[in-house]
Amino acid sequence: MAEKIKVDDIDRSMYDFRYEDNVEDHLTTGISPEMIEEISKEKNDPDWMRELRLKCLDIYNKTRMVNWGPSIKELSVDEIVTYIRQKNRMKENWDEVPENIKETFERLGIPQAERESLAGVGAQYDSELVYHNVRKEVAESGVVYTDLESAMHDERYKDMIKSHFMKLVPPTDHKFAALHGAVWSGGSFVYVPKGVKLDIPLQSYFRLNAKGAGQFEHTLIILEEDSYLHFIEGCSAPKYYKAGLHAGCVELYVAKGAKLRYSTIENWSKNMYNLNTKRALVEENGSVEWVSGSFGSHVSYLYPMSILNGRGASAEFTGITFAGEGQELDTGTKIIHNAPDTSSYVNTKSISKSGGASTFRSAIVVKENAVGSRSSVNCESLMLDSISRSDTVPVMDIRTKHADVGHEARIGRISSDAVFYLMSRGLSEEEAKAMIVRGFADNVSKELPLEYAVEMNNLIGLEMNGSAG
């Protein structure tokens, strides 16, 4: 009889430290017009933004809750602290960042990464960006990387932001998009001018420290023609027993011939509801590449969407999801082929263990006008015990005869034969299992920047205790 393979959860200890937050910084929990007005006043919103926030609140109140996917019944938005004011404004000099916040990001390795391998860094702590910096030579090339709230008041960008903000993800999209529109705070604005290709990535790191709080940052990235950007997003929070909520929004505009790679390593703690919305609009011959690692949170609904809107546009999605005890991670992607000769490629892996549930959910839509389009989807799932769940729920909606769409999915467990073979070559059982799981996750790790790939591989290796049961 085949032996069972046991693999431990991802070790989260490096993320589970926290500092006491100052309760005086909290606005009230829940959401009301008065509170929206207060956030708007606090942020000195232009009139259009204040009106948009109130409109979003109205839509939020009228929109019904999702009735598919993992249960979010235990999430009470009325008990979530939707906005936390920081006493100190955003800094461009790391030394000026408040000590406890600085230490948080130091422990997460953000300043070191900035020094070694990044073109710019943004760090958000609870509701506000606390640090933003971009290398001098990058700024001189015309690249803008700043916080969205400052940019909204800058004469050079304010019209651009007004014409793009929540246009790709309208508040009517779903209930949490409307909530985001009402209470959003923090996040980044990136603008890459025509023809500028950034060789080294920009990174934003989101840290939710406060108990029972929500984080609603908005990321707006605009790439002009023939430009290139790699943007990295990292997220974490310490563990509390009270539910937290992340309902961020990412809007990516990729112009003709431009190329954007958007990498995310999500490691929220297991009390978090991660209901994030990400969307890219890709014009002629442009391309977007999503690299997504989902390891944390209690419940996730995460499906980055690519709208291929110009001839020859392309999208690629590479993802891995690791669901352990108490986690229901519902992840995947949505791709809309809305122009001729567009192409998409999806490659995902998921691992379920210790009662965790992972669901791969996708939608590939090829519209009537997308003649000559191609799409290929490949998803694989690994079940590590029989108390876990793994589901795949893909949908293909094809409306032209001039398209080629392929889909493959596979589900199974670690092959005992493979473990036996590796052991016969001199590896211990633990090493053999770790090697197999690392190999399974190879599609994502090889797409990550080196330091992230090493961290991910180390996590997998460390957490394989190899006991057979």
Partner 1 sequence: MENIKLNTLPVPTFRWLGVNFADKAVQHIDAPSAEIDFSDGETVRIDVRDSTHINADVPDNSTGTLILYCDADSEIRLSGSINVGAYSDVKIVQIFNGAASTVGGLRIKAADGASVRLVQLFIGGGQNISETDVTLSGYKSKLVTDIGYLLSDNDKLDINLIARHAGKKTQSEINVKGVMNDESEKTFKGTIDFLCGSSGAKGAEKEDVMLLGDKVQNKTVPLILCAEEDVEGEHGASVGRIDDELMFYMLSRGLDEQTAIDLLARSKISSVISKIDDEQTVKRLDSELL
| Alpha-carbon distance values, 276 to 216, 273, 336 (Å) | 9, 9, 19
Q: Is 156 in the site for partner 1 (CB under 8 A)?
A: no
Cβ–Cβ < 8 Å for 176, 64:
no
Q: Could you tell me whether strands 188-192 and 144-147 are parallel, antiparallel, or unpaired per DSSP bridges?
A: antiparallel
Structure tokens belonging to residue 251: 């809007």
Q: Give me Rg for the CA atoms of the chain.
A: 22
Instruction: Report in angstroms how near the CB of residue 407 gets to partner 1 at its nearest.
Output: 4
Q: Could you tell me whether strands 305-308 and 328-337 are parallel, antiparallel, or unpaired per DSSP bridges?
A: parallel
Q: Which stretch binds partner 1 (CB under 8 A): 32-40, 180-188, 198-206, 382-390?
A: 382-390
Quick one: which of 203, 226, 185, 222 has its CA closest to 134? 203
Q: Could you tell me whether strands 128-134 and 314-323 are parallel, antiparallel, or unpaired per DSSP bridges?
A: unpaired
Q: Is 6 in the site for partner 1 (CB under 8 A)?
A: no
Q: Which stretch binds partner 1 (CB under 8 A): 54-62, 85-93, 231-239, 398-406?
A: 398-406
Using CB atoms within 10 A of its CB, is residue 162 exposed (0-12), middle (13-18) or buried (19+)?
middle
Q: Is 402 in the site for partner 1 (CB under 8 A)?
A: yes
Instruction: Report in angstroms how near the CB of residue 399 gets to partner 1 at its nearest.
Output: 5
Within positions 309 to 338, which residues make up the interface with partner 1, using CB under 8 A?
A: 334
Q: Which stretch binds partner 1 (CB under 8 A): 22-30, 99-107, 135-143, 379-387?
A: 379-387
Per-residue x/- marks for partner 1, 403-422, CB under 8 A?
Answer: xxxxxxxxxxx---------
Total interface residues for partner 1 by CB under 8 A: 41
Q: Which stretch binds partner 1 (CB under 8 A): 21-29, 76-84, 309-317, 360-368?
A: 360-368
Instruction: Report in angstroms how near the CB of residue 412 gets to partner 1 at its nearest.
Output: 5
Q: Is 397 in the site for partner 1 (CB under 8 A)?
A: yes
Q: What angle do CA 235, 152, 308 make, to 5 degrees?
A: 65
Give the Cβ contact number of residue 368 at 10 Å.
11
- Find where tokens 């957490």 sit: 463
Within positions 55 to 74, which residues make up the interface with partner 1, using CB under 8 A?
A: 67-68
Secondary structure (DSSP) of 183-209? H----EEEEE-TT-B-SS-EEEEEE--
Q: Is 180 in the site for partner 1 (CB under 8 A)?
A: no
Pairwise CA distance, residues 257 & 112, whole Å: 33
Quick one: which of 8, 37, 391, 455 contacts partner 1 (CB under 8 A)?
391
Choice between 41 and 402, CB closer to partner 1: 402
Instruction: Report in angstroms how near the CB of residue 166 gets to partner 1 at its nearest.
Output: 18
Quick one: which of 72, 97, 101, 383 contacts partner 1 (CB under 8 A)?
383
Instruction: Report in angstroms how near the CB of residue 388 gets to partner 1 at its nearest.
Output: 7
Q: Binding residues for partner 1, per CB under 8 A?
A: 2, 4, 67-68, 334, 359, 361, 363, 365, 368, 381, 383-386, 388-413
